[in-house]
Structure 1
Amino acid sequence: MKAEFATAERAVTLGVRETTDGLKMSMRRQVTSAGLGQRMANTWRGDNYPKGQNSIRAAGVVYTKASRIMEGFEDAAVIRSKDGWWLAIPTPNAPKRGVGGKRINPSNFPEHTYGRLRFVYRSGKPSLLVVDNARASYNRKSGQLRGFRKASDRAVSKGSGLTTVVMFWLVPQVQLPRLITFNTEAKRWFDRLPQLILKNWPD
């Protein structure tokens, strides 16, 4: 009887472990397929209990360390500005990091490098934050655009090669696309659990 019970404990534990790992990896694949990157995908974790031993009451937990982000993409959440004004979305022209090394936003925009931001209102379209008197920088070998920089006083006085560059789009709200389906995937793996337990039960 003890041997049969030990066999059952092992089968249940292995089945739960496969289910937990399977759901975790499925969620990671969802995140990478959605284009959110491997780092975000790795926030999905799976734990099995009790740790380090077999149990007829084995359990698994799958969770993410970025729950608010994942919930937003599962619920297609609408994001609004906290102060009721605008959400500033960086354009590809904006630097990735601002003053202090933090993610770029209008408050930490390095105006000493690019120039002052100027607000441009557009009726019926996203408004803009732009910098004036910028000059394009190109790769000398390939000729590809590397980015923009603040023009020198001499270049401004001559007025040659100057352009206005859009750094941020301003919108009242943004709706996230529905990219994550955790509940659906969790049910699929839960339904597979009995089969996985039987697979680990010796004949």
Structure 2
Amino acid sequence: MKFNFDFPAGELQKAQVESKSAAAQRVTAATRKAADDLQRVLRDQVRSAGLGPGLEKAWRVEHWPKGDKASLHPAALVWSKATALHRAFGQGATITARVGQWLVIPLPEAIARGWDRALVDRKLGALSGAAMPRRFAQTRLAARALGELRFVAINNGKALLVANPPKRGRGRVKHSTDPGRKDIAMPAGERGIPLFVLVRQTRVAKLLDFSGAAKSAGTSFNALLRATVNAGQQGS
């Protein structure tokens, strides 16, 4: 996934009225600022959508020429290290489990207990003990804490992983479900604590607008370049 800026030829000709060195500094600075601004906007979108720091930092930027050098023909590339995930949240997508398997989605009770995350191994160093997002729910930790989870079939081909009610003297566990999802209600007569819902497929909503950000960045870049060139001409 790449975004490019159109460099207006007329603006370059105006820039060359200045000394080549000064013009190169100006157009290079304008190009770098535009690319850095686009990266910031894209990262802000991911952060606002709550998709995690990993997906946020996956937006990278490169500049040419490198370092402190300048050129009358600068370039910049804003690119993604997580193209598939960025595209999924930028366009919307359907995720389907492999044949015979389920997608496991944590419910509020599991999320409250941290069973939608994994702890980084202490041997990894800097991130020791930090909670990081995980692709699948922590069903093993839930079973270790509350005992074996029961499989309870519900409507529309879905199912629940349910913990048995705690015995007296072992503390109370608040039973909470997502009030906005009536499709995951416990069947009549069933008791327990719903922790995870099992589905064959799920729809990822469109949460990001990368193409809109790129279009806006292109417009801002052209305006910035014109202002930069005009400032150079007035100062010459």
The TM-score normalised by the length of structure 2 is 0.66
Q: 184-193 or 106-115, which moves further after superposition? A: 106-115
Is 1:63 the equivalent of 2:79?
yes
Please tell me whether the aligned partners of residues 88 and 106 of structure 1 are also in contact (alpha carbons under 8 angstroms). no
Please tell me whether the aligned partners of residues 76 and 178 of structure 1 are also in contact (alpha carbons under 8 angstroms). yes
Is 1:132 the equivalent of 2:186?
no
Q: Between Structure 1 and Structure 2, which shows a larger proportion of strand residues?
A: 1
Please tell me whether the aligned partners of residues 23 and 72 of structure 2 are also in contact (alpha carbons under 8 angstroms). yes
* One-letter identity of the residue aligned with 1:78: T
Please tell me whether the aligned partners of residues 115 and 139 of structure 2 are also in contact (alpha carbons under 8 angstroms). no
1:137-196 residue CA offsets vs partner (Å, 9 max, x unmatched): 46xxxxx96x9xxxxxxxxxxxxxxx6111110112111111111122112212332221
1:183 corresponds to which residue? Answer: 211
Cα offset, 1:101, TM superposition = 3.9
1:61-116 residue CA offsets vs partner (Å, 9 max, x unmatched): 11233322211101201111123532110112224248x84746366344232111
* One-letter identity of the residue aligned with 1:51: K
Please tell me whether the aligned partners of residues 14 and 197 of structure 1 are also in contact (alpha carbons under 8 angstroms). no
Is 1:194 the equivalent of 2:222?
yes
Please tell me whether the aligned partners of residues 11 and 198 of structure 1 are also in contact (alpha carbons under 8 angstroms). no
* One-letter identity of the residue aligned with 2:35: T
The TM-score normalised by the length of structure 1 is 0.76
Given candidates 36, 39, 45, the residue that maps to 2:60 is 45
* One-letter identity of the residue aligned with 2:226: L
Q: 59-68 or 128-137, which moves further after superposition? A: 128-137
Is 1:118 the equivalent of 2:146?
no
Aligned pairs, how many?
A: 183
Unaligned runs of 5+ in 1: 139-143, 148-162
CA distance in 1, matches of 2:20, 2:101: 63
2:34 partner SS: helix
Unaligned runs of 5+ in 2: 1-15, 121-133, 177-190
Identity %: 29
Deviant stretches of 4+, over 6 Å: none
* One-letter identity of the residue aligned with 1:12: V
CA distance in 2, matches of 1:190, 1:84: 46
Q: 110-119 or 49-58, which moves further after superposition? A: 110-119
* One-letter identity of the residue aligned with 2:114: K
* One-letter identity of the residue aligned with 1:194: N
1:19-58 residue CA offsets vs partner (Å, 9 max, x unmatched): 1011111112211222224553233222211112111111
Please tell me whether the aligned partners of residues 132 and 164 of structure 1 are also in contact (alpha carbons under 8 angstroms). yes
Q: 104-113 or 77-86, which moves further after superposition? A: 104-113
Given candidates 175, 192, 199, the residue that maps to 1:171 is 199
CA distance in 1, matches of 2:26, 2:56: 29
Please tell me whether the aligned partners of residues 115 and 134 of structure 1 are also in contact (alpha carbons under 8 angstroms). no
